[in-house]
Amino acid sequence: MALSLHWRVEATALRAELNLSGFEAVRELVTALMDLADELDHHPEVGFGYRQVSIVWTTHDAGGLSARDWTAAERCDEIFRRLGVEA
């Protein structure tokens, strides 16, 4: 699976650190992530500030990365493209 340049593969997780245009863009992205998490019934760790959003996908009950995380990151990439989030 090819992910966008936003993602780093870590030992037990996929991580993206994003810089956005402002807080309204952050709000839009975080809201879309919440909707995606509910749809997938798989919930990331999300942190945000005025222009930054960090996203971490890991499957705690699997002890690290699973296919669910890769799928979730791919779906995030679709959201990034839709919202115009650049690498």
Gap between the Cα atoms of 19 and 11, Å rounded: 23
Tell me the pLDDT tens digit for each residue of 12-42.
Answer: 999 999 999 999 999 999 999 999 999 999 9
What is the Cα gyration radius of the chain? 12
Q: What is the pTM of this model?
A: 0.93
Overall average pLDDT of the 61-84 stretch: 94
Q: Residue 1's pLDDT is what?
A: 61
What confidence category does residue 46 fall into, taking pLDDT thresholds of 50, 70 and 90? very high
54 has a pLDDT exceeding 70: yes
Which residue segments constitute the domains of the chain, with CATH numbers given? Answer: 7-83 (3.30.1360.20)
Give the DSSP per-residue string, 10-61. Answer: -SS-EEEEEE-SSHHHHHHHHHHHHHHHHHHT---EEEE-SSEEEEEE-BGG
